[in-house]
Amino acid sequence: MAIAAKMNQFIEKSSWIRKMFEEGARLKKIHGEDKVFDFSLGNPNVPPPAVVREKLIELAQSDEPGMHAYMSNAGLLSTRSAMSTYFCREFCISMAHEQVVVTCGAAGGLNIIFKALLDPGDEVLCPAPYFVEYGFYADNHGGVLKSVPTLPDFQLNLDLIENGIGPHTKIVLINSPNNPTGQVYPEESIARLGQILEKKSGEFGHVIYLVADEPYRKIVYDDCQVPCVFQHYTNSLITSSYSKELSLPGERIGFVAVGPFIDEAPKTMEALTLANRILGFVNAPAFMQRLVVSLQGVCVDVEIYKRKRDRLVSALKGFGYELTVPRGAFYLFAKTPLADDVRFVLLLQEENILCVPGSGFAGPGHMRIAYCVDDWVIEGALPGFERAIKRSKAIQERH
């Protein structure tokens, strides 16, 4: 074996997911792109707001010297200031640019947070189901991801979180609106979580950080609000990106913001900035940093996603699928009619429908349907979803 042993394991482990993707590609080749209904990827299908293109043209035409040059590893002052000014408004809290590091998306943000905070063996506690990459991110920096189940409606089980915090817990990681469940944690939950973390930090004699991964913050429905962790717990960090709200996921632009009263603020910021540098990000892409300066608060039309959600939710419920209605993001996490989610997903594949088994998110017995797709994908898939649940009932009766 030439490559790293751990990477070899990771490749083996992820090979069944890859096989599913390969199967999808194979199906598209056989039946045509327009006959395969692909709900497997969280790749926003809604185009960026028109102002994005206008600003890109403006920027491209600029001949400002040094506009593509190196900069502070924490990002351009103008970008950090635009962000912190906007956060003041959005979070109703006092913030300055010194509390913001511009990052290569939220994935970059989580990696610099973990690099900055985790000592070897430190634990990151996370409610399950969760975004599968979290485990890799923690492991990258010597940490260990531990999870506790959520309630049946995927809300935080605060008792389990409290009991799950041990002497090695350094970070509690939440993701709301959630990938894969689409749930949003209400203000009361976050407030109680803050109290628990306060108590446990005291009990174990070290800071336990609350990290909120919020790339879907603006993609919410039914007047749902995403509370701000800064208002409920001092040692909080927020990471997010413009990937979903501006439909720019390939451009890798996001941020980490630290709570205004976080312990050892200057050292924490130094550690995050150094992590951004030495992990090889160096800085978030300069062009995109300049782009987002004037796009704070701009968002794609969320109604488009809401219509897709409503259509899918009502149709699937009509067919007999059990699901908790998602309040944000563009994922629907439905119970699979067969307990074996992988088996049911293969059954869907026979209908040319591609979903990801819940097992891939530590949520077995479910499937993730990413509905950030064109309407024809949803409409075309519905008969297949109906046939699949009928077939699975027949299978169950046989046993």
Helix 302-319 to helix 375-398 angle, to the nearest 10 degrees? 20
Which range, of 22-30, 54-62, 171-179, 297-305, touches its own copies by CB under 8 A? 54-62
| 248 is a site residue for its own copies (CB under 8 A) | yes
C-alpha–C-alpha distance, residues 67 and 223, integer Å: 40
Q: Judged by CB under 8 A, which of 264, 303, 375, 379 binds its own copies?
A: 264
Q: Which is nearer to its own copies, 268 or 392 (CB)?
A: 268
Q: Which is nearer to its own copies, 33 or 223 (CB)?
A: 33
Q: Does the footprint of its own copies cover residue 335 (CB under 8 A)?
A: no
State the nearest-atom distance from the C-beta of 315 to its own copies, in Å. 26
Query: According to the binding rule CB under 8 A, does residue 136 interact with its own copies?
Result: yes
Contacts with its own copies in 58-87 (CB under 8 A)? 59-61, 63, 65-71
Residues 174-203, interacting with its own copies (CB under 8 A): none
Instruction: Using DSSP bridges, classify how beta strands 123-128 and 144-149 pair: parallel, antiparallel or unpaired.
Output: parallel
- List residues bridging with 148 in a β-sheet: 127
Residue among 275, 312, 316, 332 that touches its own copies (CB under 8 A): 275
**Least distance CB 300 / its own copies (angstroms):** 12
- Name the DSSP letter for residue 235: S
Torsion of CA 381, 386, 387, 393, to 10 degrees: 140
| Among positions 28, 43, 149, 386, the unique one binding its own copies when judged by CB under 8 A | 43
Distances (CA, A) of 336 to 136, 202, 291, 321: 26, 42, 42, 7
Q: Choose which of 85, 140, 231, 294 interacts with its own copies (CB under 8 A).
A: 140
Instruction: Kindly list the distances between the CA atom of residue 323 and the CA atoms of 51, 264, 310, 332, 366, in Å, as whole numbers in the listed order.
Output: 36, 43, 12, 8, 9
Note the residue count of the chain: 399
Query: What is the rounded distance in angstroms from the CA atom of residue 176 to the CA atom of residue 216?
Result: 7
Closer CB to its own copies, 224 or 304, in the complex: 304
Provide the minimum distance between the beta carbon of 284 and its own copies in the complex, in angstroms, as a whole number: 8
Q: Considering the complex, state which of residue 167 and residue 383 has its C-beta at the smaller distance from its own copies.
A: 167
Report the residue from 14, 195, 225, 396 that binds its own copies according to the rule CB under 8 A. 14
Torsion of CA 303, 305, 310, 313, to 10 degrees: -160
Q: Is 391 in the site for its own copies (CB under 8 A)?
A: no
Which residue from 84, 247, 324, 349 is in contact with its own copies, where contact means CB under 8 A? 247
| Ranges within 84-113 binding its own copies (CB under 8 A) | 104-105, 107-112
* DSSP codes of every residue in 137-204: HHHHTT-EEEEEE--TTS---HHHHHHH--TTEEEEEEESS-TTT-----HHHHHHHHHHHHHHHHHH
Q: Of 109 and 363, which CB lies nearer to its own copies in the complex structure?
A: 109
For β-strands 331-335 and 236-241, DSSP reports them as unpaired
β-strands 356-357, 254-258 pairing:
unpaired
Residues whose CB falls within 8 Å of the CB of residue 225, separated by 6 or more in sequence, listed in order: 184, 187
Question: Min. distance of Cβ 10 from its own copies in angstroms?
Answer: 6
Q: Which of 3, 33, 152, 394 binds its own copies (CB under 8 A)?
A: 3
DSSP 322: -
Q: Contacting its own copies (CB under 8 A), which of 232, 252, 309, 368?
A: 252
With contacts defined by CB under 8 A, how many residues of the chain interact with its own copies? 80
Shortest Å distance, C-beta 279 to its own copies: 6
Task: Tell me: does residue 293 bind its own copies (CB under 8 A).
Answer: no
